[in-house]
Amino acid sequence: MPITPKLEPNPLSEPGVTYEKVQALGQGSFGFVQLARNQAGELAAIKFLKRGAINKYTEAEILNHSLLRHPHVIQFKEVFLSSEYICIAMEYATGGSLFHYVQKQGRLKEAVARWFFQQLIIGADYCHKRGVANRDIKLENTLLQVVKGLPLPLLKICDFGYSKADSMSVAKSKVGTLTYMAPEVLVNRDGKYDGKVADIWSCGVMLYVMLYGRYPFDTPPGQNVPKAKEILQMLDKMVGMRYTIPEGVEVSTEGRDLLQLDARGGVWKQHAL
């Protein structure tokens, strides 16, 4: 007997809601996202989170994201409630994620990687100057906006679910995505770390992946290593900040220099930017 797929709820159909569902965009452990149109005909991506599952990270996401307004940050529009969900309306990015862009290309030409990386650093710097550390910067959390007349899409940082503001307590939680996580977050010996510096580390990992098509601390291709051992080796290399630059990939001296560790504190030299 065939299994009937579970239908996605549509909170936008409730009375009083000023958005109309266009299509589903995705779902995850956090909830689900729909593309919607408001009464003025403007599109928005709306994230739906169960009201009973709201925690400190949800509150931080709303508060911190609402502080930010910049060309390289997905615009926070509004938050509203349905009977069962808290609904966060944001700018809709038409070009998908940078992760899928890089996945499709394999790796990016240096000029293209530079285009995206410059925007990433500008966006991250803006967030930091506004007192917000994202703490989960990665390819999957950077979206692309196609703009008529531009040769390449604009990059926009999204997802502030793990963000931390200066006005809140000092960053202590080990949050984020493992392959992008800074060594000080992994070790976290004294119970606190600088979330902004951790963001810069994640930006460096993104640059490496864009240029070389693989993660800096992964096991090199061709080595048959059991998964558990591979993870332990990766963690050891991350904490020790040991990585290699693949041979045979043409990258300028300036590009390679950005991926050198700063002797002042073990973060990529881009931090000096």
User: What confidence tier does 273 reach under pLDDT thresholds 50, 70, 90?
Assistant: very low
Residue 47 labelled as part of a binding site: yes
User: What confidence tier does 272 reach under pLDDT thresholds 50, 70, 90?
Assistant: very low
The span from the CA of 127 to the CA of 187, in Å, is 25
pLDDT > 70? residue 270: no
Residues 63 and 171 reside in one and the same domain = no
Q: What CATH number does residue 67 fall under?
A: 3.30.200.20
The answer to whether residue 192 sits within a structural domain is yes
Mean pLDDT, the chain, whole residue set: 86
pLDDT single digits (tens) 108-147: 999 999 999 999 999 999 999 999 999 999 999 999 999 9
pLDDT single digits (tens) 28-54: 777 899 999 999 999 999 999 998 877
Contacts for 43 with CB less than 8 Å, ≥ 6 apart: 22, 35, 36, 37, 92
The answer to whether residue 120 sits within a structural domain is yes
Q: What is the β-pairing status of strands 154-157 and 142-145?
A: antiparallel
Specify whether the CB–CB gap between 207 and 112 falls below 8 A: no
Stretch 233-254: mean pLDDT: 85
Residues 77 and 105 reside in one and the same domain = no
pLDDT > 80? residue 179: yes
The answer to whether residue 7 sits within a structural domain is no
**What is the predicted pLDDT for the residue at 224?**
76
The span from the CA of 90 to the CA of 48, in Å, is 11
Residue tagged 């000092």 (tokens): 170
The answer to whether residue 110 sits within a structural domain is yes
User: What confidence tier does 234 reach under pLDDT thresholds 50, 70, 90?
Assistant: confident
Residues 73 and 143 reside in one and the same domain = no
**What is the predicted pLDDT for the residue at 57?**
83
Choose between 55 and 115: higher pLDDT.
Answer: 115
Choose between 259 and 264: higher pLDDT.
Answer: 259
Q: In this structure, what are the phi and psi dihedrals at residue 188, rounded to the nearest 5 degrees?
A: 45, 50
Q: What CATH number does residue 112 fall under?
A: 1.10.510.10
The span from the CA of 135 to the CA of 181, in Å, is 9
The answer to whether residue 1 sits within a structural domain is no
Look up residue 74 and give its DSSP letter: P
Provide the annotated active-site residues: 136
pLDDT single digits (tens) 58-74: 888 999 999 999 999 99
Specify whether the CB–CB gap between 31 and 87 falls below 8 A: no
pLDDT single digits (tens) 180-201: 988 888 877 666 788 899 999 9
The span from the CA of 78 to the CA of 98, in Å, is 25
The span from the CA of 165 to the CA of 30, in Å, is 21
**What is the predicted pLDDT for the residue at 212?**
93
User: What confidence tier does 220 reach under pLDDT thresholds 50, 70, 90?
Assistant: confident
The answer to whether residue 194 sits within a structural domain is yes
